[in-house]
Structure 1
């Protein structure tokens, strides 16, 4: 998959810049080869390479399609975690089909993403991770990674919400799910969700669910949950 700003209905399209360099100089695309193009907003195309120059590939569109968003959009509220585990969470969730990501400033998050260059750099890494993971998975859409949110901002979204909690009585396999709209999947930090946070989210209608008998790490919990949601809803249909 190569990203382009716009996928034309037909004719020629030029890959240049970073994507052109990757196609021409790293992947070594050749005339006659068929490549997949996407704009990250739902439109993809199969295109035949007709010319290759240094850092530049020209291709002719063979087939173009647009995928509508799923009726039920799953938004991941991922607690900020230290090191590269947050990026791993975004990567695996993107591969599993998440529609958007909300970096969550949970009380027990070790990482803080303070305002300023350091926070902006961390957010940029999450966004780049989502874009690259969507590319590798050949997804039609790149999940939006929004600015960090607080617990109160999560509660105020007014959406259906599931909080992953290992001690919950309800299971993800059995909890009722909406058929459309937005479903927020909340994944806490390594220290867990605090009682105060649970109370705020519960006050907004959130339900706590567990995925199984074992504890799943924060870096992979969303991907596991998304798999279950894909099987239980029409998202994989």
Structure 2
């Protein structure tokens, strides 16, 4: 039986006990219906897995005694930073979730001309908190012990100041493929993907003017969530550990 993995923000050490946060405790006791004596795998983003046993369950409190820690080396060798145009509905969540599984190390949501999500600062903050939980849950599922960084949503023009010489954006009319590019894989690899409807002509001009290289994925036009995930998979295949 697979041992459930639970993310916690608390400090973890062997030969110690920890009380799980309310949401995690509810998942363990009410959803998984675990009881005292059952094993759990905990992680907090420090690169280790911590294995322990449930020693008590009282109301919404679950106490776990940690008995062993193990280092994990399942991170992608590539430092991929995905700049993703914010999409509507659950498409953005899908991109974040699967991006975590594929090894993306940083995410920056982009607010662009064709972005269909219009929020005030307070609602952007709530959206950020929700997306952070999506990332943490994806790490629980895929076995990553390092939590990818989620940067605040930023307008495209402001984000362009962060461009490096290792930056690529998806464009269906580009002549380059990832196989034809000699990238510096030891530094950050930036991948820029437009929202539904893509980048506008003006935005494409901005991106290219700042030195971002256009890249295409075959002869077909891909949806925004497909383009991002396919591109990350190709980058891992060409330069990474696939």
Taking structure 1 as reference, are residues 149 and 22 closer, same or farther at Cα in structure 2, changes over 3 Å only? same
2:6 is aligned, of 2, 8, 13, to 2
Retained in 1: the 8 A contact 2:163–2:212? no
Residue 191 of structure 1 pairs with residue 221 of structure 2: no
Partner of 2:44: 39
Taking structure 1 as reference, are residues 35 and 173 closer, same or farther at Cα in structure 2, changes over 3 Å only? farther
Retained in 1: the 8 A contact 2:56–2:63? yes
SS of residue in 2 equivalent to 1:98: coil
Retained in 2: the 8 A contact 1:43–1:66? yes
Partner of 1:29: 34
Partner of 2:81: 75
1:122: Cα distance to partner? 2.7
Partner of 2:155: 150
1:66: Cα distance to partner? 4.1
Retained in 2: the 8 A contact 1:7–1:44? no
Retained in 2: the 8 A contact 1:76–1:185? yes
Report the Cα distance in structure 1 between the residues aligned to 2:53 and 2:230, rounded to whole angstroms.
Answer: 36
Retained in 1: the 8 A contact 2:178–2:238? no
Report the Cα distance in structure 2 between the residues aligned to 1:10 and 1:177, rounded to whole angstroms.
Answer: 45
Report the Cα distance in structure 2 between the residues aligned to 1:174 and 1:32, rounded to whole angstroms.
Answer: 54
SS of residue in 2 equivalent to 1:181: coil
2:223 is aligned, of 214, 217, 220, to 217
Report the Cα distance in structure 2 between the residues aligned to 1:228 and 1:10, rounded to whole angstroms.
Answer: 42
Partner of 2:211: 205
Residue 56 of structure 1 pairs with residue 61 of structure 2: yes
Structure 1 unaligned spans of 5+: none
Report the Cα distance in structure 2 between the residues aligned to 1:231 and 1:63, rounded to whole angstroms.
Answer: 34
Retained in 1: the 8 A contact 2:193–2:227? yes
- Number of paired residues? 235
1:44: Cα distance to partner? 2.0
Structure 2 unaligned spans of 5+: none
Please provide the CA RMSD for this pair: 2.3
What is the TM-score when the length of structure 1 is the normalising length?
A: 0.86
1:33: Cα distance to partner? 3.0
Residue 167 of structure 1 pairs with residue 173 of structure 2: yes
